[in-house]
Amino acid sequence: MFFQNFSLKKVSDTDNFLKWIYRDLEYYCLVCDLNCNENPFIFWAHTPYTQICFDGTSAKTSTTDVIREVHAVAFASEDNEISWSVRDKNKHTEVCHYVYDVKALIGRGSFSRVVRVEHRATRRPFAIKMMEVKAPGGREVCASELAVLRRVSHANVIQLVEVLQTPQRVYMVLELATGGELLDRVVTTGRFTERDATRALRMVLAAVGYLHGLGITHRDLKPENLLYYHPGADSRLLVTDFGLATFGDDWSLRTTCGTPEYMAPEMVLRRPYSCAVDMWALGVIAYIVLSGSMPFEDDSRTRLYRAILRGKYSFRGDPWPSVSSPAKDFIQHLLASDPAARLTAEQAIRHPWVATMAAGSSMRNLHRSISQNLRQRASRTSSRCPSSTGGLSRASSSNKADRKKNVC
């Protein structure tokens, strides 16, 4: 039995989590204590018309409910298979069984590996992120990412499908994004206009606005973390990789982290900052998407930070003469050195250039100039780092540690 559609909800203020699962005409619920090494579960089933209340210590249900204690047993993680079973503790019968065939290694991070898998029964593809919680700092990173992923549900944000914890590892089953990174799509389409840019940015802004509404700051927005769900032209664009994301009220964040070229001035200065740092990063992304070049770039970290603090960038060189004034105005209002003057996600999505999808702008094809600039930048990067690889299709939430150059 495999349950495909469910979401995750926290139970009271305990460390327990409910997994609500809908299958056919019944709802199933698994309650797992993530702090227990033996992975105990409480399982019950009921119809959609039954009320259930669970406070973390006791279950109160109607007489139509069936309550059984079960244990997760026969958990295995091998090179070519990840599987686990949930069995009835008293009757020794299997309640549900999960088997994922490992197809390929997608990425490797400081505390994790990401593999592309296929569920053996349904043949549906997923990504599984395996995080080492025993490694120094691994538990904190894992807990932070899980806290965010459990909270979010948006068409343009990567979705957590299932999670299982063992004493050594946490396995996060995620939807698999196979359409490639944002810049890969720009290069391979053969034609790219300002309207195409606004179409992509609208999806990113919708996701970022949703995250900011929940009090979540991503802190590592960049093209490599923006993935298309499938290769089709109508694919949705997903914000992924929440390894540095955090909850925090305005101006309560202080940790300097992220990818240097996308860091906002207030973060470089190690001052308290807010979710406005994400909007600065979106300004950098918009600049890259429209030109294939970076507004701030230098081999020296010191000189790079000085350029960011000065806020000096230019619209010189191809294809900027062909880019409209509204597009440049949009970038300028995101790359404002004063975070209070920066557009919010809600304001950015209402900016005339984005709202009208560049209706008043030239539909000139920017593809050639963008591609040339991206190739030149990739060549410079590879000459500095011979082992680096170009952007290829990634799965959701891969750390891509060999490419991120994160500071934290």
Residue numbers annotated as active site: 220
Query: Minimal CA–CA distance to 329: which of 230, 158, 205, 194?
Result: 194
- Amino acid identity of 269? L
Helix intervals (H) in 117-181 = 138-151
Beta strands in 166-311 (DSSP E): 169-175, 216-217, 226-228, 237-239, 246-247
Q: Is 129 annotated as a binding residue?
A: yes
In single-letter form, the type of residue at position 382 comes to S
d(CA 302, CA 171): 38
Distance CA 168, CA 162 (A): 17
> Per residue in 163-175, is it b (16+ CB within 10 Å) or e — as a string?
bbbeeebbbbbbb
List, in sequence order, the alpha helices (H) in 37-153: 138-151
186, 323 Cβ separation under 8 angstroms: no
- Residue numbers in the known binding site are 129
Known binding residues for ATP are 129
